[in-house]
């Protein structure tokens, strides 16, 4: 099975795949992901509280 990426672009993709993130880059990615999860979880909690406290 041949790769859908061909030519010079294939070499660039290979380099990117083999690149190792520095500690600072890795920390930034992890903190960015955690920040998104925190906001999402706060939204879910807020919506659950609103559903439970809304008059019926």
Give the tens place of pLDDT for each residue, 2-25.
Answer: 666 677 777 877 787 777 777 877
Non-local (6+) Cβ contacts of 30 within 8 A are: none
> pTM of this prediction?
0.41
Using one digit for the tens of pLDDT, what is the confidence trace for 16-50?
777 777 787 777 777 777 777 778 888 898 888 88
Non-local (6+) Cβ contacts of 29 within 8 A are: 21
Placement of tokens 């070499």 in the chain:
11
Domain map (residue ranges) of the chain: 22-56
User: Chain-centre distance of CA 41, in angstroms?
Assistant: 15
């Amino acid at each position: 099975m041949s790769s859908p990426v061909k030519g010079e672009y294939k070499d660039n993709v290979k380099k990117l795949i083999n690149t190792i993130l520095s500690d600072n880059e890795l920390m930034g990615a992890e903190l960015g992901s955690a920040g998104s999860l925190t906001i999402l979880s706060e939204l879910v909690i807020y919506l659950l509280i609103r559903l439970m406290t809304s008059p019926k």
